[in-house]
Structure 1
Amino acid sequence: MNGVTFLECNDKKLWQPFYKAQKYRATLKGYDRVFAAYLSGSLIACVITSRLFKNSPHLLLHGLVVATNHQHKGVGHHLTRYALQQVSEEPDIKDITCFCDAALAGFYHALGFEPILPSNLTTELTGRFKTYQRYQASLVALQLNLQ
């Protein structure tokens, strides 16, 4: 992507102010990796992958936020693809799940995610899905199988 650099950024002091400026409350879920997109030295997007417990073969992709003036330019797509490539190199990862509004399902489908019934998720992910769905009725679960 033209002039945009993608890298892993686990320093909370770097990504937390970005999320706050975008009015998004990012919380880490357990064993996390934060990926960021930079343009001319400025952080313009972040996404998080989380293992809900140590050595879990299941990841949760969440917290994809792109600065308003960089939305609809492919930054989110390229950053997510970068993050997926990085975590897929871990041999023990079986799948990556994300929850999103039904209107955004096409974005994740283009990255290889497929719909999954919440009842087919792990117990931990099912619980999170049900909690989040209380606040967002149009939430859907999607999964990318790596094995």
Structure 2
Amino acid sequence: MDVTCPDQKASIRDDRLTAYDRTDDRRRIGNRVHTVGEDFAAEAPLLRPLPPDRFETGRLLTPRVDRYARVMVRQSTYSMPARFIGHQLRVLLRADELVVFDRRREIAARPLDGEGFNYRRVGSLSRDGNACADDRGGAVGSGQYPHPRHPCLSRARHQH
């Protein structure tokens, strides 16, 4: 079980990204004379600032909920509430979260942890019977699912 706090994970991720940036700055494309970092240093003064108004950076997808109450988003399967079987939902896929909408109403949201699991739960099934609370005090059926190896879930597996 991972005991690293989110702040430590963010710090580790930032350190890795900084290392990748340094490596990429030294890279040469083809037979060019200048490195990527040297070209960027020459072009940086010509870049304009970002616009002041916020804009959505996520990708909007429209998957259909299959007969098993699941949607496929970028090779990952997420379960949905059973009442949406057969419906086409709007999914906003951001770098760090997945948000699901039925028309304009948000029905589920889930942070993406990037740990490589393929089957995720986003919403709760009405007959799924999970009343287990996660570490944040939310119920498993609330759309805030704990990690698949969470002790509460492993207890439930051993009971059945």
What TM-score do the two structures reach when normalised by structure 2? 0.23
What TM-score do the two structures reach when normalised by structure 1? 0.24
Rg comparison, structure with higher value: 2
Higher RCO (CA 8 Å, separation ≥ 6 residues): 1
**Between Structure 1 and Structure 2, which shows a larger proportion of strand residues?**
1
**Between Structure 1 and Structure 2, which shows a larger proportion of helix residues?**
1
